[in-house]
Structure 1
Amino acid sequence: MENVRENLQVVVFPWLAMGHLIPFFHLSKCLAQKGHKVWFVSTPRNLTKIPKVPPHLSSLLNLVSLPLPQIPNLPLNAESAADVPFRTQSLLKQAFDSLEPALAAFLQSSKPDWIIYDFASHWIHRRAAELGVSRAFLALFNAAWLSFIGPPSCLIDGLDARSTAEDYTVVPKWIPFESRLVYRYHEIAKNVDREIDVNIQTITNDSMRFGLAIDESEVVAVKSRPEFEPEWFDLLGQLYRRPVFPIGFLPPVVEDDGGGDDVVDWVEIKEWLNERKEKSVVYVALGTEATLTREQLTELALGLELSELPFFWVIRNSPGSPQPESEMLPGGFLERVKDRGRVYVGWAPQVRILSHDSVGGFLTHCGWNSVVEGLGHGRVLVLLPMLNDQGINARLLSEKGVGVEIPRDEFDGSFTRDSVAESVRLAMVDDSGELMRLKANEMKGLFGDKDGNELHLNQFINFLKENR
């Protein structure tokens, strides 16, 4: 009986995006490995996309499927952010909000000690509180970005009066120290001025969702470590006025990344990488949500060609785009680069690729999960932020000296093939980039530090045990 009282019972409820589902699932596995009972809750199709539950954890880690209500204009079978165009993700949030009764019923029947939830669940605090379930907000963002968006009162009430894109291009008043971490105009304009289809009902915006997720939590967990951004963690605790726990970087496990060595796609990719010299290849991947314009795609392709370096480029044909990205590549490009570059269409085992010895750099959209994966393997970064938190992440990484940002037009976000080529060469081979490569390689000792990450996670779990 003593063991039953010692162990936790936890519901884990992430937002409907693979970049959220995977780290929430990784945390769930960590909890189960320590003997705690976990219910991982999501929608049917999303549950088929996450890694399999290891047999030895099957009695402790349970997958709970809640069918996603169908709403007008949401594509059939769309259950994740990767299934809908970025500009219409409000539809997915509307469907997500419709899960409230089903999740409340599950909380009532399962009676967990805690629910660990994501930013989108602005309604969960009320239902959990009614049922006596304690609430923890897991933020899959770094402390710098969380500090930049501000305290919950500003997010909920709009007290900071940031209503235009220009407002986000200056350091906010609550940051007391010198900082250059601000958005470029083109990065934030698409969020502030995003068009929403006229058929979508008015729903809670993301700022309020974040504000309520923080304000109604009893503790906030952050996927980062103060060793990387000490001043930002100090500030975040002051802004949130509640316990804030770094839980480490939750570095991904290679074995969870698309199966084993017998998976055909990985076998072919590995053979291609095996033929390249150590740290010679730049891996290129811009996430699952951003869509490149034809002009951007052309300049990126020709920039990689001009760099004269080996590259492995993962392209995704985005939903709702008028033409697949793979069909918008410049004429003759694939033929010209066939001996040193590969364009791969669809999902690719990113962690496995980044872990390969031939990969030296990572041209990335600066999503925090991808950054963790890249620096966890010591890969120098070429920074091309596209949306959401990525602009602030790029400034932070540039400031830390582990990557170079591709120069872009401040207002329209355009970039040139020459700037791509120069940035890639600086990161990968130029003498002037040697210190950057060294710093990125040193980050492997922090981001991939299993014992240090485990220590932070254990401190968070102890708090949950002591305050259930």
Structure 2
Amino acid sequence: MSSDDLHFLIIPLMCPGHLIPMVEMARLLSHHSVTTTIVITPRNVHRYGAILHRAIASGLPLKILELPFPASEHGLPEGCESVDDLPTFNLSKNFFDACATLQKPLEHLLAANEVRPRPGCIISDKHLPWTADVAKRFGIPWVVFDGMSCFTQLATHNLCGSKVHEEVEDDSDPFILPGLPDDISMTKSQLPGLFNPGSGAKGKEMKSVREKIRATELGAYGTLINSFEEMETRYIHEFKKLKQGKVWCIGPFSNSNKSDLDRAQRGTEDTIITNHDCTKWLDSQPDRSVIYACLGSLTRLTPPQFIELALGLEDSQSPFILVVKGGTRTQEIDKWLDVNGFESRVKGRGFLIRGWASQVLILSHRAVGAFLTHCGWNSTIEGVCAGVPMITWPQFAEQFFNERLVVQVLGVGVGVGAQRVMHLGEEDEAQMQVKRVDVCRIVKMVMDDGEEIRKKAEYFKEMAKKAMEEGGSSQVNLTMFIEDIRQHTNKGVVG
């Protein structure tokens, strides 16, 4: 079977940080003459359809399989088809339960031979363990996409095996992460939910979901990673040994966007006006002078913590872009912005974006000199690709792992001082972690004295670019992955 005969079925988790890279991965695979079908829901077709339809119109063998999402049947608001649509993270389990109901209609289509040609591989987000059952039923290799780094993968594997974190008496006591190429210390309070579920009932409920995901992913045929060999070489090497070589780093996906239109519409097609205004403002700023501050699509700072961030940026005297997101508390934040007079005081020096920001487009602008980030993996690798120093403020999930990679392994960032995970849904009970003085101090340090960090950031930017070029490490890995599946399919091995 040639690549022209191969068909990959891609099933993403409906959440911006997971959907965006899988849309880009689908396009990457189709560029290699592999028929690629992405399973997606109606609202998300609208949200990400511009890029997908543009790729299809260009002649790429890319297809969209649209499945209705049963939101209301699972206690979710009508039209809630993505994690960032949830009015409260207390509905997270409802959302995952609704996702699992997509299994039957998908199996029906596969059994009726309506997904053609027959898929030779199912690539799914690891957070959808039911897709493993679909693959097993139809004898198709099941490959997981993990939107995390190999650093995180290796650290997670070693903690699951050693359970060294369980021996730590105080949540704030540092301990060395076992079995890593570098000596990296963490505290239990900085670990992701698999090891540190929080004290709330919903956190404990989600712990069982995470444990099922972890148990299921261990049986995957292989793993695809949005990373590149030159960035985390030793960690990739060690993780590959654990997985008998069935690990393919084929990123960074964000570098596959060749036009400004694709970069602008990665998260939504409704940002054109904001993009234009933001770009126009950036054009008026000196080179490397602007701080871009965005703490992710799911991060929901409490109003007091947001205020500290905003005032710290104001005190720094640097030009800045601040993405305003507060979830259900956005109205409260907007009221403070208005009453406090913040926007009028920083007018001309500060640019506020409400809602979705075209991050890759902004980071690539010559005026951006640093990136204040929550260290989600997409943002982390996008910061690396842009070659800008990062100011790290991890919030939840594996983000403290990513901070360690950025600050201690790569040396391309500086931490702002966050000490513990902010459990989703428990933000209001959390103590204030970062003050305006911390934000101001670190911003000045990076902008005034960050030349060494900037040199390292530029180096990894070049490595990221080369990885995605013809003959680059990620291009080679993608070819090897396709060839592996082709040979597996030809042998008729049941996945």
Instruction: Please give the TM-score of this superposition, normalised by the length of structure 1.
Output: 0.89
Deviation at 1:242, TM superposition (A): 5.5
**Which of 130, 134, 141 is residue 141 of structure 2 equivalent to?**
134
Aligned to 2:424: none
Does 2:212 match 1:208? Answer: yes
Q: Secondary structure at the match of 2:79?
A: coil
- For 2:84, the equivalent position in structure 1 comes to 82
Q: Which residue of 1 aligns with 2:121?
A: 114
> Does the CA-based 8 Å contact 2:177-2:184 persist in structure 1?
no
Secondary structure of the residue that 1:112 maps to in structure 2?
Answer: coil
Which of 266, 275, 278 is the matching residue for 1:269?
278
Aligned residues: 456
Alignment-derived partner of residue 460 in structure 1:
481
Which residue does the alignment assign to 1:68?
69
Provide the residue aligned with 1:425 in structure 2. 444
State the AA in 2 paired with 1:100.
Answer: Q
User: What letter matches 2:125 in structure 1?
Assistant: D
In structure 2, list runs of 5 or more residues that go unmatched. 422-430, 490-495
Unaligned ranges ≥5, structure 1: none
SS for the counterpart of 2:253 is coil
Q: Distance in 1 between matches of 2:23 and 2:254?
A: 12
Q: Is it true that 1:305 corresponds to 2:314 in the alignment?
A: yes
Of 276-285 and 80-89, more deviation after overlay is shown by 80-89
Residue type of the partner of 2:120?
D
Cα distance in structure 1, aligned partners of 2:40 and 2:146: 17
Distance 1:115 1:377 in 2: 31
What is the distance in 2 between the residues matched to 1:413 and 1:186? 15
Residue aligning to 1:245: 248
Contact 2:125 2:145 in 1 (8 A): yes
Q: Which region of structure 1 is more displaced relative to structure 2, 66-75 or 117-126? A: 66-75
Is the Cα contact below 8 Å between 1:145 and 1:392 reproduced in 2? yes
Worse-matched range after superposition: 320-329 or 359-368: 320-329
Q: CA RMSD in A?
A: 2.9
Q: Indicate which of 460, 465, 470 corresponds to 1:448.
A: 465
> Is the 1:181–1:392 Cα contact (8 Å) retained in structure 2?
no
Q: CA deviation at 1:312?
A: 0.7
- In 1, the alpha carbon distance for the partners of 2:119 and 2:364 equals 37
Of 456-465 and 387-396, more deviation after overlay is shown by 456-465
Letter in 2 for 1:462: E
Summarize deviations over 1:211-241 as a string: whole Å, max 9, x none. 312x221111121123211221122123334
* Structure 1 position 337, deviation (Å): 1.2
Matching residue's letter, 1:119: K
Question: How far apart are the structure 1 equivalents of 2:153 and 2:407?
Answer: 18
Q: Alpha-carbon deviation of 1:276? A: 0.4
Q: Which has the higher helix share?
A: 2
Structure 2 length as normaliser, TM-score? 0.84
CA separation in 1, counterparts of 2:270 and 2:12? 29
Match of 1:416 in 2: 435
Instruction: Tell me what 2:226 maps to.
Output: 223
Q: Which of 382, 388, 393 is the matching residue for 1:373?
A: 382
Seen in structure 2, the aligned counterparts of structure 1 residues 69 and 203 have a Cα distance that, compared at 3 Å, is farther
- Deviation of residue 41 (structure 1)? 0.2
Q: C-alpha displacement at 1:29, in angstroms? A: 0.7
- Counterpart amino acid of residue 401 in structure 1: G
**What is the identity, as a one-letter code, of the residue corresponding to 1:63?**
I
Counterpart residue number, 1:387: 396
SS state at 1:339 partner: coil
Q: 2:261 aligns with which of 241, 255, 263?
A: 255
In the TM superposition, 1:169-208 aligns within 5 A as 170-173=175-178, 175=179, 177-183=181-187, 185=189, 188=192, 192-193=197-198, 195-196=200-201, 204-208=208-212
Does residue 97 in structure 1 map to residue 95 in structure 2?
no
Q: What pairs up with 1:278-427 in 2 under 5 angstroms?
A: 278-318=287-327, 320-321=328-329, 323-329=331-337, 331-399=340-408, 400-409=410-419, 412=431, 414-427=433-446
In the other structure, the counterpart of 2:493 is none
**Contact 1:162-1:168 at 8 Å conserved across structures:** no
Structure 1 residue 257: Cα displacement: 2.7
CA contact (8 A) 2:295 2:374 kept: yes
Would the aligned equivalents of 1:247 and 1:460 in 2 still touch at CA under 8 Å?
no
Could you tell me how far apart the structure 2 residues matched to 1:459 and 1:326 are? 50
Give the fraction of aligned pairs with identical amino acids, expressed as a percent.
27
**Residue 317 of structure 1, CA deviation:** 3.9
2-side partners of 1:68 and 1:93: how far apart? 11
Inter-CA distance 45–465: structure 2 relative to 1 (3 Å threshold): same
